[in-house]
Structure 1
Amino acid sequence: MNIFLEQMSQYLGPREAFLVMDCASWHKSKSLKVPKNIEIIYLPPYSPELNPVERLWLYVKQNILRNKIYDTIALLESALCKFITSLTYSTIKQLCYVSYLNDQQ
């Protein structure tokens, strides 16, 4: 996470940004080094409705992990990569779309 934040900070240069994240443990680690030009805003705990990608992860888990055993991490990684790269834009949009985040008032 620190590497990502540092690269994001370098990309931003003198600009500032807000980064919205869930409360995953690695997002709130005491060792997290947040650059001065990035402010982190945490989503409330247990609020998957505010994080539409959660439905995509659920879909991936249902299709790759449910009732399946992989003998090695490499086989799991291969299955995940194959599945994720086969997803169409339409499928991802359908899974992640939420009207309250997308509809113009």
Structure 2
Amino acid sequence: IHLEEISRSVSKGAHAVLVLDGAGWHTSPRLRLPANISLLSLPRYAPELNPVENVWEFLRQNLLSHCVWDSYDAIVDACCHAWSALMSTPEQIASITRRSWAQVKV
């Protein structure tokens, strides 16, 4: 369902490439890939290629550090709050995930 939703969002005539890390849930023999999507798996143990690793590091260092929670629900609430705070600042996300070596040269 997730891939179908992404497929519907891809502009007509365009093709989407989804970058995947090595998480086991990213693969399944039953996966049906829409024609306008390709999957690109990152090599193992290459966090420098996965910008989401920087997002997790930022969250741990800035919004979830030095905390002890009383319950599982408190952990979930703190994580939801941290994620919502980050999502409200798209310029911060762009800064965190930017790679100098991946810039388009004009």
Q: CA deviation at 1:9?
A: 1.9
Aligned residue runs from structure 1 range 18-37, under 5 A: 18-37=17-36
Q: Percent identity?
A: 33
Q: CA deviation at 1:103?
A: 6.1
Aligned residue runs from structure 1 range 84-99, under 5 A: 84-87=83-86, 88-99=89-100
Question: For residue 50 of structure 2, what is the aligned residue in structure 1?
Answer: 51
Q: 1:14·1:37 contact (CA, 8 Å) conserved in 2? A: no
SS of residue in 1 equivalent to 2:68: coil
Q: CA deviation at 1:7?
A: 0.9
Deviations 1:46-77 (A, max 9, x none): 111111221111222344266634402x3222
Question: For residue 4 of structure 1, what is the aligned residue in structure 2?
Answer: 2
Give the counterpart letter for 2:16 in structure 1.
A
Question: For residue 71 of structure 2, what is the aligned residue in structure 1?
Answer: 71
In the comparison of the two structures, how many residue pairs are matched? 102
Q: CA deviation at 1:44?
A: 1.0
Q: 1:22·1:44 contact (CA, 8 Å) conserved in 2? A: yes
Stretch of structure 1 that moved more, 27-36 or 47-56 = 27-36
Question: For residue 105 of structure 2, what is the aligned residue in structure 1?
Answer: 104
SS of residue in 2 equivalent to 1:59: helix
C-alpha distance in structure 1 between counterparts of 2:90 and 2:58, whole Å: 14
Q: TM-score, normalised by structure 2?
A: 0.71
C-alpha distance in structure 1 between counterparts of 2:6 and 2:28, whole Å: 18
